[in-house]
Amino acid sequence: MKTMELVFLLIFFPVTLSVKHSLKLLVTTSSGVKNFPDYVVVGLVDEVPTGYCDSIINTVEGKQDWSQKMFEDDPQHLEWYTQRCLLHQYEYKDQIDILKQQLNQTEATCNPLWDLTLLSDSLSGVHIFQKMNGCEWDDETGEVNGFVQYGYDGEDFIAFDLKTLTWIAPKQQAVITKHKWDKDRAQNERWNYYLTQQCPELVKRYLDLGKSSLLRTELPSVSLLQKTPSSPVSCHATGLYPHRAMMFWRKDGEELHEDVEHGEILPNHDGSFQMSVDLNLSSVTPEDWRRYECVFHLSGVKDDIVTKLDKAVIRTNCEFPAGPVIGGVVGLLLLAVCITGVFIWRRRDNGFRPANSSDSSSSDPSSVKDAALN
């Protein structure tokens, strides 16, 4: 499980010039969600939406200039991805129907695709079936991490262990599926080849095609914000790129973990990102403020941005910069439109929860046979 923990953490790196690049494919099948495609595929390169397909448009769209040009220059590449999108949506729709039918059963039923047991007490309502696969490649060490994971209604269901070429069943209900898939050695070897060979090569190819945007580095502007004199002080960075960054408060040179709250990294309307970290000063005397500072680190950049806690530079509620805030809202809306509101996994403690996000897809970027469907 330690390997899976590392794969699904947000990419926060130590101070190093080494950068990890990733390619991810997210598939979401839903039931009972109104005004939402019941099948959505999203592809991400370094967490940037690059391609998208759903059951309404039934074709793959490039979501970046370079990915759209790639499809225009290689129609066969686009056609292959589109066919994958079309074929898989019917297979995944069947799976969620099977799951719903089995919700009131206590024993696994036999079907050609899945051996699943009781997952819910309700036959109706909203249900979400998800798959996430892809790889991470370290551009300095060459290290590769691959992952394949399935979830149902926002929780882990089964995942591939690349070290042992076997499946991990975090839920008892998935044990039968694990045993069945473990026996398919040929399919697991195909996953191994795709995750360790094909996927990293695709990462390199896409980075080369989109290097003008994907490999750029932009340092943010950092401000200290506070709503009221008794509110936490927020260290806010906006305009950063890429999103692989970390931000923290420290006291006397030591990182703080208590009285600190980290916000999510959010997109701006211009493609950059913003993030913040709050410090609760209720137990800090004014004389001790000088001992605190906010540190921003961008992956691949040697020097950090350090901002001293100084009451004179704190911007109050009425002085909050409208640009970053509006930019973040607009960015979120554009990102939501990009994927029509797809559900994806976000790591939280030991499980997953559905979250709104936006990503895109270049359909399953390999000729490997889908291990979940065969």
Residue 136's domain is classified under what CATH number? 3.30.500.10
Whole-structure pTM over 0.75, yes or no?
no
Is residue 275 within 8 Å of residue 225, measured between CB atoms? no
Give the residue ranges of DSSP H helices in the chain: 2-8, 65-73, 75-101, 175-182, 185-193, 199-209, 211-214, 322-339
Q: Give the type of residue at 320.
A: F
Handedness of CA 227, 230, 232, 235 (dihedral sign): positive
Per-residue pLDDT of the chain (374 residues; tens, 9 = 90+): 333 333 333 333 333 346 789 999 999 998 888 888 989 999 999 988 999 999 999 889 999 999 999 999 989 888 888 888 888 887 777 777 765 665 443 333 334 344 443 344 344 578 888 999 999 999 889 999 999 999 888 889 899 999 999 999 998 878 888 999 999 999 999 999 999 999 999 999 999 999 998 988 999 999 999 999 899 999 999 999 988 899 999 999 999 999 999 999 998 988 889 999 999 999 999 999 999 999 999 987 889 999 999 999 999 865 545 455 445 544 544 444 444 334 444 444 434 444 333 333 333 433 333 333 33
pLDDT at 98: 62
pLDDT at 117: 37
How many separate domains does the chain show?
Answer: 2
> Alpha-carbon distance 244 to 142, whole Å?
18
Instruction: Identify the domain containing residue 273 by its residue range.
Output: 216-325
For residues 187 and 282, membership in a common domain is answered with no
For residues 225 and 205, membership in a common domain is answered with no
Name the DSSP class of 164: T
Residue 265 in any domain: the answer is yes
Sheet of 155-161: strand order equals 61-62, 48-54, 39-45, 20-31, 127-138, 144-152, 155-161, 166-168
For residues 204 and 235, membership in a common domain is answered with no
Handedness of CA 191, 142, 67, 150 (dihedral sign): positive
For residues 314 and 339, membership in a common domain is answered with no
Q: Whose CA is closest to 271, among 4, 12, 49, 74? A: 49
Q: Whose CA is closest to 26, among 153, 181, 132? A: 132
Domain CATH number, residue 247: 2.60.40.10
For residues 248 and 209, membership in a common domain is answered with no
Neighbours of 317 (CB within 10 A): 10
Name the DSSP class of 241: B
For residues 225 and 195, membership in a common domain is answered with no
Per the listing, tokens 């066969």 go with: 76
pLDDT at 366: 38
For residues 287 and 314, membership in a common domain is answered with yes
Residue 198 in any domain: the answer is yes
β-bridge partners, 159: 149, 168
Residue 369 in any domain: the answer is no
For residues 56 and 40, membership in a common domain is answered with yes
For residues 118 and 207, membership in a common domain is answered with yes
